[in-house]
Structure 1
Amino acid sequence: MRKHLPAPHNLLSLLSQHIARRQAIQQIHAQLLLTGAFHSINPTLCNPLLRHYSLGSFPQEAILLFKHLQLHPLSICFFDSFAYSFLIKAAANLQDTAAGNQLHALTFRAGFQFHVYVQTALLNMYADCGSLVYAKQVFDEMPQRNLVTWNAMITAFAKWGDLRLARSMFEQMPTANVVSWTALIAGYTRANNPREALALLRRMVMDNGIVKPNEVTVLAVLPAICNLGRLESCQSVHAYIEKSGFTAYDIQVANSLIDTYAKCGCINSAFKVFEAISHEKRTLVSWTSIISGFAMHGMGKQAADSFKQMKEKCLKPNQVTFLSILNACSHGGLVKEGIEFFRKMVDECQILPDIKHYGCLIDMLGRAGWLEEAEKISLQIPGQISNVVIWRTLLGACQLYGDVQMAERVVGKIMEMEMRYGGDYVLFSNIVAGSGKFEDVEKVRRVKDERNASKVLGISMV
């Protein structure tokens, strides 16, 4: 006997109330299956389920639900444009081009080949899967395109590095909005073309009085300023930010500004931005950014003080925070403090150090002349993460302090990992020469030539 099913409007109300709760959605789904009424429900009830599954952690469930309803002999469920849009989004999130192709064919059969929202969803799906040829084909075949369609195509080209086509489409589009400008600026930043990113921002601000940069635009251009190290550009963007009031409510902008000022060489301005953030709004990223800034400028004591203040605010440091403070201790000569921070990371915070943490520790000990301790720790690094850079760092410390015997052991470790890099032989021969053993220098250089080890040529940006 069929169990009583709640009225459709009641089910719709339940779905709307619990659209983000996986357990509640699954219970409603189970109820529909249990009563056997799933196969005659309308899109109003079906779409919330497809939407939830397509945007959730398991988008394949949207595809499976669709297949179940399609293949069941008693099903009379009708799928509208929204349903197909959610299903296409599920394929995009799964990076499943095959499923996307099948849905593309089904949209034609269902008569949505000219539907702007469905076709834009298809374009996005192909772009997310890296199939730019298919994405462009969908775009070209659309009789009608809206602003979202144009932005999706520009964003796709910019994301995958084809900035020539992205720029061409940007210049062709009837009307650009802040999303269009930001997508292109972000594309230039990612492609390591910071000058073009800044030029486009300048054009956006100066030549275009209608569309103004927003927080996302600023976040896209600040890394470009970091790459150039232009303090005046950072100050100009900061002035615009202050005028627009972004930092008043967007902590991401403030954090990025701290990092940019520090990388442009102005730690005082970075600290002023940090100080301007209210205590309640400061996040772990805020503290990590200023600690990292102090580290870049060799201000170990200030970095250590900031770390302690952060801990007093009951914020738990993560791997990046510890990497920043270890780097600060290394450049600031705070060896004992650095060792203590490393111990806290492992013992108190239960954070497993990676090769970068070990690298900072070896560099710190090497700079301070604690060579035996540095060698001991280098030997204790797990084999699965140890690399040649660690030993090269220690070799550099051996040169600094003229320790030939340790240098011989370190070079032996380096040779076990890599024998063809000429720089290692040159550095070791310089260490040997510093001790006056010129016959051994000739031997080292002869071995270098026999192994055909070459030194990478240096380049200058000047």
Structure 2
Amino acid sequence: MAAAAAAGNHGGGVVRRRPNLSLLADRCATLRALAAVHAAMLVSGRLADDAFAASRLLAAYASLSPSPSPSTILLRLLASLPYVPNSFMLNTTLRALASSPSSALRFFSLLRRRRNSPFTPGRHTFPFLLKATSHLPIRATEQLHALAVRHGLDCDAHVGNGLVRAYSVAGLVGVARKVFDGMPERSGVVYTSMVSAYAQNGMYEDAMVVFEEMVGVEGLELRGAAVASVLSACARSGGSRGLEMGRRVHGMMEERGMTAPVGVILGTALVDMYAKTGAMEEAMEVFDGMPERCTATWNALITGLARHGHGEGALSTFHRMRREGVPPNATTLVGVLSAYCCTGRLDEARHVFASMEKEFGVAPTIQHYGCMVDLLGRSGLLIEAEEMIRGMTTCDADTVIWGALLTACKNHGDIDVAERAVQEMLKLDPDNHGVYVVLSNMYAEAGRWQDVDKLRKVMKQARLSKIPGSSEVAGDG
């Protein structure tokens, strides 16, 4: 009886309520489940007379991107509707198509060309399109910018934020800043995009200044994405300014409860900032206080320790990482091989390098080879280092790795290997002035003045001259 009452009684018979298919569509986690709801909507005729149901179905398909062919399904669904799709449906379709830039722009262009179309691009339309154009030539973003101005939406918070991000992805940070400055109101989201724009384009001081304005002047909420971006800027800015600012950001995080406990993303950003700026004790303190770590967290500490001469500490951290079952990746092994360079433990470095693919599933990159060449060069094993470069199979040698060998030759006075290294470097970069200078100095130190004269003639014929400070090969190893 309870079931009958729940179903309802009409004229002595049980009336079954129509299932809430729109709600079911929202809850689907897979395309297969959503397809079943879609089929039920078709059978029940729901799509033919219920625009809301169609909207929820479209939104569900869009949320499952990038599942297999969601955009194709969306376009077919739109075409099958017996009524004109509303703006929500069209914007939802644009959102799903944004991962395929050409498809999104073709669809948008079709909507604009269609006669008597009720669709007018609005504040929710442009962010999806701008996301798509960030992967296309800048002309596409500029055209959308002009269209936004025409519709009076260029100062809207959503559209302005999309423009800042699109221009910054294209490297046009100055244009992004003009958009930012032209917005009458700037939210924390827009500030975060501007901080990220500067950080991602190597303008670290500017990133810190905008962050300070966001938090100190505007008094906006401290957002996780902004914190991660400014910490990245602090880590890469160099000098004491980055560390000083990083400590201030850390203090702000503690004041706002963002470190109780610190999450993986922000914790890793803190470890990376402290490690890159040489504050290893603080880096390890944050690291040890994290309840959860990812491979990137371990990498930040291992690489930082190795970079600042704490080779044994880096190797100890690596062994701890393995004991805790965290899989190392290519970046981890660059840090480990760098640590072996610090400690001079050649045999262990050889073992790790030789077992990279078999034991860790990592193919050696130019950075891994560079570490080994550096270590072999420091050890005076120049022939072995040269053979390693010539035997590279997973990547091609560049001027940097040959330059490392040339530096080792300079330090050990091996002119024969140096001559071959210079030949290889000139094949890759015929205009490299520095290699001639290094080799000429080596000849002079060995008292081979005839070779010095010959090399000077070669330099003169090639119209080269020694330019102070221009050498690409420097250092004592």
Aligned partner of 1:3 in structure 2 is none
Distance 2:394 2:268 in 1: 36
Aligned partner of 2:6 in structure 1 is none
Of 73, 82, 85 in structure 2, the residue corresponding to residue 76 of structure 1 is 82
Cα 1:321–1:432, aligned 2, differ >3 Å: closer, same or farther?
A: same
**Gap regions ≥5 residues in structure 1:** 1-5
Aligned partner of 1:244 in structure 2 is 256
Cα offsets for 1:224-243 (capped at 9, x unmatched): 22333222222222211222
Aligned partner of 1:199 in structure 2 is 209
Aligned partner of 1:234 in structure 2 is 246
- The answer on 1:264 being equivalent to 2:277 is yes
SS class of match (1:346): helix
Cα 1:419–1:124, aligned 2, differ >3 Å: closer, same or farther?
A: closer
Distance 1:213 1:65 in 2: 40
TM-score, normalisation: structure 1: 0.85
Aligned partner of 1:181 in structure 2 is 191
SS class of match (1:246): coil
Equivalent positions of 1:45-194 (< 5 A) are: 45-56=53-64, 58=66, 61-69=69-77, 75-96=81-102, 98-105=105-112, 109-113=116-120, 115-118=122-125, 120-122=127-129, 124-126=131-133, 129=136, 130=138, 131-142=140-151, 147-194=157-204
Shift of 1:14: 3.9
Of 319, 322, 335 in structure 2, the residue corresponding to residue 308 of structure 1 is 319
Distance 1:415 1:7 in 2: 80
Q: Which moved more, 1:47-56 or 1:386-395?
A: 47-56
Of 420, 445, 448 in structure 1, the residue corresponding to residue 456 of structure 2 is 445
Cα 1:46–1:154, aligned 2, differ >3 Å: closer, same or farther?
A: same
| Conserved? CA contact 2:365–2:395, under 8 Å | no
Cα offsets for 1:74-110 (capped at 9, x unmatched): x515422221112212332101164143254168844
Amino acid in the other structure paired with 2:202:
N
Aligned partner of 1:24 in structure 2 is 33
Amino acid in the other structure paired with 1:201:
F
SS class of match (2:355): helix
SS class of match (2:185): coil
Amino acid in the other structure paired with 1:89:
R
Distance 1:23 1:432 in 2: 73
Distance 1:409 1:337 in 2: 28
Distance 1:37 1:262 in 2: 62
**Gap regions ≥5 residues in structure 2:** 1-15, 471-477
Aligned partner of 2:446 in structure 1 is 435
Cα offsets for 1:283-329 (capped at 9, x unmatched): 21111110000111111111110000000001110111111111222
Amino acid in the other structure paired with 2:72:
L
Distance 2:397 2:441 in 1: 25
Cα 1:58–1:186, aligned 2, differ >3 Å: closer, same or farther?
A: closer
| Conserved? CA contact 2:399–2:428, under 8 Å | yes
Amino acid in the other structure paired with 1:170:
F
Equivalent positions of 1:242-391 (< 5 A) are: 242-247=254-259, 248-278=261-291, 281-382=292-393, 385-391=396-402
Equivalent positions of 1:33-52 (< 5 A) are: 40=48, 42-52=50-60
SS class of match (1:93): coil
Superposed CA RMSD: 3.1
Shift of 1:261: 1.6
| Conserved? CA contact 1:123–1:139, under 8 Å | no
Distance 1:383 1:206 in 2: 49
TM-score, normalisation: structure 2: 0.83
Cα 1:385–1:56, aligned 2, differ >3 Å: closer, same or farther?
A: farther
Distance 1:442 1:8 in 2: 95
Distance 1:303 1:264 in 2: 16
How many residues align? The count is 447
Amino acid in the other structure paired with 2:336:
I
